[in-house]
Structure 1
Amino acid sequence: MAYKHDYDKILTRLSYILSRLNDGEALSVKDLAKEFNTSERTVQRDFNERLVSFPIFQDGKKWKMQEGFRVEKTKSLEDEIVLDIIEKITEGIGGKFASKSHKLLSKIKNQDFNPIYAKLNIEDISDKFGEIQIIEGAIKAKKEIECSYDDERHDIFKVALKPLKIVNFEGFWYLVALQDDVLKKYYLKNISNVKATDTAFSTDAKLENLLDSSISVWFQKDVEPFEVKIYANKIAAKYFQRRPLPTQSIESLHKDGTMEFVVKITHEMEILPIIKYWLPHMRVIEPEWIQEMIDEDINWYLNNQT
């Protein structure tokens, strides 16, 4: 069935996907990417992050709504879904950002009850609205900015940057930018005195794809991605089926609930904290040197307890 939606709009895409899941369909990332004329990474991020509050799960290469759950259909299903998602995300950020968004949403919503609950531990950056506005404009116009940066050693210096994205990793906000064509990440709350310039710059699709597929702030530019094969027991496996990592692909699922999956990374620190968090329920199969790093850290920890 053809829909006259603007598939490039994130919120329209989310409500469309959820509506089809609600109708009992099983959806593949590949097919949706073609239908929306976007990348598979973008659609995968929809499932992994933007729709995580809904009772959906990954079954092989298809996404489904859990049995026994349905989102009540109304005449304004899409609008209700969109507003509920926005409200819960902004509540997780807190501060002035949450209060301002709540006031705006209350003017639109017809009811106060929200059946969606999302607990997001995201730092409040409402005190940076002025800087963010300038940076956002520069990103859209592809213009360089000048700013001051506190490197947390109490050494504040001025820098000229080509801003690419404002991103959030593990609840913390960063500006991803090029400085002299070197990709760097700047902690957003340490940026001040932002000024827009008239100096234009350009980026390539490869860099955009790198940002889309990044797992953490440790991702690297000009580094060939490499694969890490991971074993997860049944305790960890179900969580990585529900919320796969951006570059994750499942290699095998077993009857006992265990699985092996592969992720592509550009730096070992993209995956090391994740593996350590899930110990003893996960381990690295390949490459062996990453598992050896984990073993060394565990041994050091055990040998230095008092």
Structure 2
Amino acid sequence: MASPQHDTLGIRLAEILLQLNQGDAVCRDDLAERFGVSERTIYRDLNRLGDTVERLPDGRYQLAADKQGKFQPKDLELFARITGVNQLFPNSGHRFLRTLLDPLEPSPFLVKAHHHENIQPWDRQFQQLDRAIRKRQRCQLQYGEKLRTLEPYRLVNSKGIWYLAATERGQLKAFSLGRIGLLNITDEIFTPQAQIHRQIEDDDDIWFSTTKTQVRLSVAPTIAYYFLRRAVLPGQQIVQHGEDGGLIVSSSISHANQILPIIRYWIPHVQVLKPEWLQSQLHAELQNYIRPASQPHTGS
């Protein structure tokens, strides 16, 4: 079984691509044993590579004929940016990539990333939506109990979950792939809007909205480090460094549920300074939680 140092999606996919680019055909079982993951995980990995790979009659996979011998370090850098793992490593150029992917040297790196949902049950829908986005075709789908007509823009993975970013009557929304049913790709063509693409790329997650609420929090010195090393909040900005080591931070949100779970996680070390309605909502939720079981909870 492979060393757990290989247990990272970005490095695993890059190593598979490197092996395929050398002209090798790969077997799912062999890859599963090499990386110490399940055969189903390797199946999903190969699906992520889309038409870059093709399946042979004997069940092995090889690089598609029109891609063979064409992958260069710059292609792997582009792949890293698309999959969101480019900022995990130093910006050291091609030399670092070649060192990272050298099959003869044990890797000194280990990345423990988000757990990703299993999209295998929705593989066909994923491919249908991919084609609809590329061909700019409207689609109809059942979402919950409602039939919707959408203009699909992007397939977005946020925190390990796949969403369809699409407009409905001009408004950008996100739809979880796991809740989509009765998908129908129509022959109607739409014209994508550049500002919609920018909004999808600029927003931190899938709470799309053109109207943002500014939130300001006080962060205690004991946990300030966690807010300094990376953005914990959506659109996080450090507003002020306190003399005691505490912080005042701001966040830009589209919906209260975008930030309330994060605040609850850090209680009692964070405090909502504004807006007042957010602090009131948090206070009411906490009161409902600590109310004795004999007393009924009020609706929210």
Question: Is the TM value for this pair above 0.5?
Answer: yes
How far did 1:216 drift? Answer: 4.3
User: Once superposed, which parts of structure 1, at least 4 consecutive aligned residues long, lie more than 6 Å away?
Assistant: none
Instruction: Sort the Cα spacing of 1:10 and 1:176 in 2 relative to 1 into closer, same or farther, 3 A.
Output: farther
Matched, 1:159 2:148: yes
Instruction: Name the Cα RMSD after superposition.
Output: 3.6
Amino acid at match of 2:85: R
Q: Whole-Å Cα distance in 2 between the matches of residues 285 and 9 of structure 1?
A: 46
- TM-score, structure 1 as length reference: 0.60
How far did 1:194 drift? Answer: 3.5
Matched, 1:212 2:201: yes
Q: Whole-Å Cα distance in 1 between the matches of residues 251 and 229 of structure 2?
A: 15
Match of 1:11 among 56, 69, 77: 77
Q: Whole-Å Cα distance in 1 between the matches of residues 195 and 292 of structure 2?
A: 44
How far did 1:260 drift? Answer: 1.0
Matched, 1:264 2:252: yes
Match of 1:194 among 183, 189, 202: 183
For 2:276, the equivalent position in structure 1 comes to 288
Q: Whole-Å Cα distance in 1 between the matches of residues 190 and 138 of structure 2?
A: 7
Cα pair 1:142 1:202 within 8 Å, conserved: yes
SS in 1 for 2:279: helix
Counterpart mapping for 1:102-251 below 5 A: 109-110=103-104, 113=107, 115-149=109-143, 151=144, 155=145, 158-220=147-209, 223-244=210-231, 245-251=233-239
Cα pair 2:167 2:173 within 8 Å, conserved: yes
Amino acid at match of 2:118: D
SS in 2 for 1:230: strand
Amino acid at match of 2:238: I
- TM-score, structure 2 as length reference: 0.61
Number of equivalences: 221
How far did 1:198 drift? Answer: 3.2
Cα pair 2:172 2:196 within 8 Å, conserved: no
Identity of aligned residues (%): 25
Instruction: Sort the Cα spacing of 1:261 and 1:185 in 2 relative to 1 into closer, same or farther, 3 A.
Output: same
For 1:76, the equivalent position in structure 2 comes to 95
Amino acid at match of 1:183: L
Cα pair 2:216 2:272 within 8 Å, conserved: yes
Instruction: Sort the Cα spacing of 1:239 and 1:190 in 2 relative to 1 into closer, same or farther, 3 A.
Output: same
For 1:300, the equivalent position in structure 2 comes to 288
For 2:56, the equivalent position in structure 1 comes to none
Cα shift readout 1:220-268 (whole Å, capped 9, x = no counterpart):
3xx4223111111123322222221452221112343311111112222
Unaligned runs of 5+ in 1: 1-7, 16-41, 55-64, 66-70, 84-107
How far did 1:132 drift? Answer: 0.9
For 1:34, the equivalent position in structure 2 comes to none
Instruction: Sort the Cα spacing of 1:283 and 1:74 in 2 relative to 1 into closer, same or farther, 3 A.
Output: closer
Cα pair 1:219 1:267 within 8 Å, conserved: no
SS in 1 for 2:191: coil
How far did 1:279 drift? Answer: 1.0
Q: Whole-Å Cα distance in 1 between the matches of residues 172 and 94 of structure 2?
A: 46
Unaligned runs of 5+ in 2: 1-73, 295-300
Q: Whole-Å Cα distance in 2 between the matches of residues 232 and 168 of structure 1?
A: 29
Cα shift readout 1:21-48 (whole Å, capped 9, x = no counterpart):
xxxxxxxxxxxxxxxxxxxxx9xxx9xx
Amino acid at match of 2:95: S
Q: Whole-Å Cα distance in 1 between the matches of residues 127 and 99 of structure 2?
A: 28
How far did 1:117 drift? Answer: 2.1
How far did 1:209 drift? Answer: 3.5
Cα pair 1:218 1:269 within 8 Å, conserved: no
For 1:50, the equivalent position in structure 2 comes to 85
SS in 2 for 1:291: helix
Q: Whole-Å Cα distance in 1 between the matches of residues 214 and 75 of structure 2?
A: 31
Amino acid at match of 1:268: A
Higher relative contact order (CA 8 A, sep 6+): 1
